């Protein structure tokens, strides 16, 4: 038996294995017009290939809950029904391959209105379909970036409503899992961290205030998401600021992540997708194979919330060991699945278990 290829049950949903695809932005949607934010043939091919390649759960990329919530003008969206309809052929196909399909809902906050990475990823203005970002506080992400508009309390509630409506559309589009994007320095994570949240009202200052927006978003999503389907939350377990002993800047910490995990569980979250970083542009991060796994392991060890580990997990034996040792409940692969859409087949062969493939490809495995 292989831990990597053991099914995993979340509420009524049975994921066929623990090889999961992390959400990865493709920056390939139209920036304006009736097709703005609508999935294209590229998105279909990208997600379908990993489903036919044996991946157990496919998480579609960070999908904006509003136009100003996009990272780039070319991001996917779920702020209208045309976008929801565009996802339907993707979800139908992925589910027909025996995989589970989910979507990550996000809002970029102060990191919004930037160009696609292959064009430099710098801030863009109205002449390139850009806009003024919004954030908890009027603090630019980095030098040269837009100074964001500080959200009012009324505007915060509208963003919460945007997450609710996007989740409603995600269900209509055929998704089985919805993940709230609270990681990598985007809006939900910006509220969590004192590095980016300098508010003095009910949404800033204390831990309880800084987590208020995230919990309201989770509650809004859970309100419209069926009781028999799971909700995930992706978190950056640390800003990598306090972990550096000589760095006095204050950020979100691993201790707060552990505390927050139990609160998320109480609000209906079924799994914590544990990443790190992204909120402080020059934080010092010592990377290496599985460098983020210890953060997932700590949440699993100290709380009752299931976790998925991510970050330079590339080798089948490495992934198997993480799960067999109980350090996580699943592994999320990103760039490795970009390089090899059929990674799950190769992993199964290397672990001497039978992989899952469409009938048309079955003789190949």
In a domain, 1, yes or no: no
In a domain, 13, yes or no: yes
In a domain, 297, yes or no: yes
Phi, psi angles (nearest 5°) of residue 165 = -70, -35
Per-residue pLDDT, 326: 97
Element (H, E) at 259: helix 254-266
Give the active site residues.
186
Give the CATH number, domain containing residue 213: 3.20.20.70
- Structural domain boundaries enclosing 142: 8-364
Structure tokens at 325: 């040792």
Number of domains making up the chain: 1
Q: If you ran DSSP here, which 8-state letter would residue 311 be given?
A: S
Q: How far apart are CA 276 and CA 335, in angstroms?
A: 16
In a domain, 286, yes or no: yes
Q: If you ran DSSP here, which 8-state letter would residue 54 be given?
A: T
Kind of pairing between the strands at 330-333 and 307-310: parallel
In a domain, 2, yes or no: no
Q: Please return the burial class of 3, using the count of CB atoms within 10 Å of its CB with bins 0-12, 13-18 and 19+.
A: buried
Per-residue pLDDT, 188: 98
In a domain, 90, yes or no: yes
* pLDDT (tens digit per residue) in 110-130: 999 999 999 999 999 999 999
User: Residue 41: left (phi > 0), alpha (psi -120 to 50), or beta?
Assistant: alpha
**For every one of its 365 residues, what pLDDT tens digit does the chain have, with 9 covering 90 and above?**
899 999 999 999 999 999 999 999 999 999 999 999 999 999 999 999 999 999 999 999 999 999 999 999 999 999 999 999 999 999 999 999 999 999 999 999 999 999 999 999 999 999 999 999 999 999 999 999 999 999 999 999 999 999 999 999 999 999 999 999 999 999 999 999 999 999 999 999 999 999 999 999 999 999 999 999 999 999 999 999 975 544 444 899 999 999 999 999 999 999 999 999 999 998 988 899 999 999 999 999 999 999 999 999 999 999 999 999 999 999 999 999 999 999 999 999 999 998 888 888 888 77
Terminal Cα distance for the chain, rounded: 18
In a domain, 201, yes or no: yes
Cα distances from 324 to residues 3, 256, 343, 350, 363, in angstroms, run 6, 27, 19, 15, 29
Angle in degrees, 0-180, between the axes of helices 254-266 and 293-302, rounded to the nearest 10 = 50
């Amino acid at each position: 038996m292989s831990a990597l290829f053991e099914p995993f049950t979340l509420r009524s949903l049975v994921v066929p294995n623990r090889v999961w695809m992390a959400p990865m932005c493709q920056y390939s949607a139209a920036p304006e017009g009736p097709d703005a934010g609508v999935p294209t043939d590229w998105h279909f091919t990208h997600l379908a290939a990993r489903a036919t390649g044996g991946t157990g759960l496919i998480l579609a990329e960070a999908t904006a809950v509003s136009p100003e919530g996009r990272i780039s003008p070319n991001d996917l969206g779920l702020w209208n029904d045309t976008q929801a309809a565009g996802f339907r052929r993707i979800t139908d196909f992925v589910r027909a391959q025996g995989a589970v399909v989910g979507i990550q809902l996000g809002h970029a906050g102060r990191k919004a209105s930037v160009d696609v990475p292959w064009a430099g990823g710098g801030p863009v203005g109205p002449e390139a379909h850009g806009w003024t970002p919004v954030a908890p506080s009027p603090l630019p992400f980095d030098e040269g970036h837009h100074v964001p508009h500080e959200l009012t309390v009324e505007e915060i509630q509208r963003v919460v409503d945007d997450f609710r409506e996007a989740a409603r559309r995600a269900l209509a589009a055929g998704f089985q899992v919805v993940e709230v994007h609270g990681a990598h320095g985007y809006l939900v994570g910006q509220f969590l961290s004192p590095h980016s949240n300098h508010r003095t009202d009910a949404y800033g200052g204390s831990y309880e205030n800084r987590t208020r927006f995230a919990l309201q978003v989770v509650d809004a999503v859970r309100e419209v998401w069926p009781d028999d389907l799971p909700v995930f939350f992706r978190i950056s377990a640390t800003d990598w600021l306090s972990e550096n002993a000589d760095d006095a800047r204050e950020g979100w910490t691993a201790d707060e992540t552990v505390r927050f995990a139990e609160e998320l569980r109480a609000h209906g979250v079924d799994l914590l997708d544990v990443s790190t970083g992204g909120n402080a542009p020059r934080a010092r991060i010592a990377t290496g194979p599985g460098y983020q796994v210890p953060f997932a392991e700590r949440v699993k060890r100290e709380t009752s919330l299931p976790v998925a580990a991510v970050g330079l997990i590339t080798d089948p034996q490495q992934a198997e060991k993480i799960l067999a040792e109980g350090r996580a409940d699943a592994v999320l692969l990103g760039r490795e699945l970009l390089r090899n859409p059929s990674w799950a087949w190769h992993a199964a062969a290397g672990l001497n278990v039978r992989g899952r493939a469409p009938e048309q490809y079955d003789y190949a495995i």
